[in-house]
Structure 1
Amino acid sequence: MTAALQNYQARMRRVLDHIDRHLEADLDLDSLSAVAAFSKFHFHRQFMATFGLSVHRYVQLARMKRASHQLAYNDALDVTDIAMDAGYDAPDAFARAFRQRFGQSPSSFRKSPDWEPWLAAFGPLDNARSKLMQKNFTTDDVTIRDVLPTRVAVMEHRGSPETLGDTIRRFIAWRRAAGLHPRTSPTFNVWHSEGRPAQQDEYSIDLCVGTDQPIEANGEEIKAGEIPGGRCAVLRVVGFTDNLEPAALYLYRDWLPASGEEARDFPIYCQRLSLFPEVPEHEAVAEVFLPLK
């Protein structure tokens, strides 16, 4: 039974990976049931039973998630191109569907996103993905590495995690103006609080980009900082890196007490090596670092 269940889950994961990789393709029931190697009749019901969403709605949400990220974080992309990539034949149809989902037109969302309905809209998608995409870490996944110090430019986010998207938008715009592209300048997040603290205004995270250049704030609250060098326990996460709290908790709560190591006086942090939507979600990569003495 265990082998049969693992095989069934692997086939369903293969479908989700295929959707992530081919969002611009014709993801109809025939093609996806073939990927899963299930009959079309049974696949539709099995998908719904497994994920709590129909195949059609899951694909729509996955496409809208990529489209909304492109609108919020990439001004260079034309709305028409985003609509076509999301599977719509015309911008008007995309605009109607977008407004129905988020309560804003695409152009309004691009200028000033309302993050609360955005987060609510993707709750079902995140819940569906977590059914089979939950990662179970082991000690074999953790390596100890000596890292070099990295000078960084820092934009602080203090306050509700629901408004983090606005800070990310400002950070991306600032680093783009500064010529600090993610391919050439490393991206870090430093966590100073839990992901969901008891009081939302206690949420605290630093958005950082590695640079040796003099920092010109250009009207933003940017300061110089450093990711310190030294020994670190490192846990690599591949795919769906929106929520890295499970990886951080594993390092702190499970790995550290059993390792005989002692944590250094610097917060746990991550380096984002590849980012959605520049790569499909299942190809996004982040490494979580726990500084050690």
Structure 2
Amino acid sequence: MPRIEDKRHDKAAAFAQRMNRVLDFIDTHLAETEPLRLEALASVAAFSPFHFHRIFRAWTGETLQDFIRHRRLEKAGGQLVHNPAVTVQIVAQHCGFTSAEAFSRAFSQHFGMSPSAWRSGGYRHWDPVQGRACDDRPCAGLDVRMRWEPDRTVAYFRLSGSYQETPDEAWSTCMDWIRANHLEGQPRFGMALDDPLITPPVRCRYDACVLLPDGWEPRGERISRKKIEGGLYACLAYAGPRAGIAAAWLSMLSEWLPNSGHGLSEEPFVEHYAPQVTPTGDPISVELCMPLSE
């Protein structure tokens, strides 16, 4: 007979899975100028519309519309920096704003500067907590290789919070699940879904993922799964202290990308771990994979 603790764990996992479906749905529909309506989002999570707004606020700490607005602005902040050839007006459209004027006003209210000032270097002074310049310095000696990656279906375990803390906890849960399902030989992927230089730590999401074998199905268990989109990626092998990974990512963005002739696609960045590597080890060996537009 299942223990009470097991039943509670199953219910909590099912609830998290439903809410993560909503957050993923919002992320994939940010470009739509029509409002993301409460009724539609409640349906994605299979909740009653009557209760959904209260449930969403309890889960995220924000109202639904506040969450959607800051996700659109954070997405725009990244596009302005990493796709310099794209006009502010196009960025506004890609992030669901009906006019450049409305976008500029909302952006200035959120970040304290215009989109043009942000793109011109103001983003370097943005700190989501203190509002001060970041002291991280990129590392040198990059050996970036470009290659095409296939679509991958993964199981994922998501936590929100500071990237200094959440990866260890997410990977602890993921590794326990991997061992319980005898998937130790499968590649693993870490995905930080938000830019920590833009998004406050409490809203930063991290997914610990494991590649699912073709045709694999869990036995009577609820598990969150998603597709890591294939395409062209810039890949950098990194070996060293875990604290240096952030600087390696910054090097790819500030040193390699501007001279590559490519822009960034809208897919998340991926940290690729070989099956024999423990993602929480220090020092660490990992491949950093940055999605590119063709």
What is the TM-score when the length of structure 2 is the normalising length? 0.53
Q: Is the 8 A contact 1:12 1:36 kept in 2?
A: yes
In the alignment, residue 65 of structure 1 is paired with which amino acid? E
Instruction: Determine which of 14, 19, 31 is the counterpart of 1:7.
Output: 14
Find the residue that maps to 1:120 and give its secondary structure: coil
- 1:271 alignment counterpart: 288
**Structure 1 pair 99/244, CA: closer, same or farther in 2 (3 Å)?**
farther
* Residues 120-159 of structure 1 mapped to structure 2, 5 A cutoff: 120=129, 127=161, 134=170, 136-138=173-175, 139=179, 142-143=184-185
- 1:71 alignment counterpart: 80
| Alpha-carbon displacement from aligned partner over 1:163-191 (angstroms, at most 9, x marks no partner) | 9xxxxxxxxxxxxxxxxxx9656321525
**Percent same amino acid among aligned pairs?**
26
| Alpha-carbon displacement from aligned partner over 1:110-146 (angstroms, at most 9, x marks no partner) | 1113344353399xx953997xx9453225555489x
- 1:20 alignment counterpart: 27
What is the TM-score when the length of structure 1 is the normalising length? 0.53
- 1:90 alignment counterpart: 99
Q: Is the 8 A contact 2:108 2:115 kept in 1?
A: yes
- 1:107 alignment counterpart: 116
In the alignment, residue 268 of structure 1 is paired with which amino acid? S
**Structure 1 pair 183/208, CA: closer, same or farther in 2 (3 Å)?**
farther
**Is residue 279 of structure 2 the alignment partner of residue 251 of structure 1?**
yes
Structure 1 spans left out of the alignment, 5+ residues? 146-160, 164-181, 198-202, 210-216, 221-238, 257-265, 279-293
- 1:58 alignment counterpart: 67
* Residues 25-44 of structure 1 mapped to structure 2, 5 A cutoff: 25=32, 26-44=35-53
**Structure 1 pair 109/43, CA: closer, same or farther in 2 (3 Å)?**
same
1:162 positional shift? 6.2
| Alpha-carbon displacement from aligned partner over 1:228-264 (angstroms, at most 9, x marks no partner) | xxxxxxxxxxx9658899x9994354xx9xxxxxxxx
Q: Is the 8 A contact 1:83 1:94 kept in 2?
A: yes
Find the residue that maps to 1:205 and give its secondary structure: helix
Which stretch of structure 1 is more off in the superposition, 37-46 or 184-193? 184-193
Find the residue that maps to 1:188 and give its secondary structure: strand
Find the residue that maps to 2:86 and give its secondary structure: coil
The structure with the largest alpha-carbon Rg is 1
1:73 positional shift? 0.6
Find the residue that maps to 2:248 and give its secondary structure: strand
Find the residue that maps to 1:251 and give its secondary structure: coil
Which stretch of structure 1 is more off in the superposition, 77-86 or 10-19? 77-86
**Structure 1 pair 3/27, CA: closer, same or farther in 2 (3 Å)?**
same
In the alignment, residue 15 of structure 2 is paired with which amino acid? Y
**Structure 1 pair 88/141, CA: closer, same or farther in 2 (3 Å)?**
same
How many residue pairs get aligned? The number is 198
Q: Is the 8 A contact 2:234 2:291 kept in 1?
A: no
**Structure 1 pair 183/121, CA: closer, same or farther in 2 (3 Å)?**
farther
Structure 2 spans left out of the alignment, 5+ residues? 1-7, 132-158, 188-195, 199-229, 260-266
1:82 positional shift? 1.2
State the alpha-carbon separation in 1 of the partners of residues 17 and 247 from structure 2: 37
Q: Is the 8 A contact 1:67 1:83 kept in 2?
A: yes
* Residues 90-239 of structure 1 mapped to structure 2, 5 A cutoff: 90-120=99-129, 127=161, 134=170, 136-138=173-175, 139=179, 142-143=184-185, 186-188=234-236, 190=238, 192-195=240-243, 205=248, 207=251
RMSD (Å) for aligned C-alpha atoms: 4.6
Higher helix share: 1
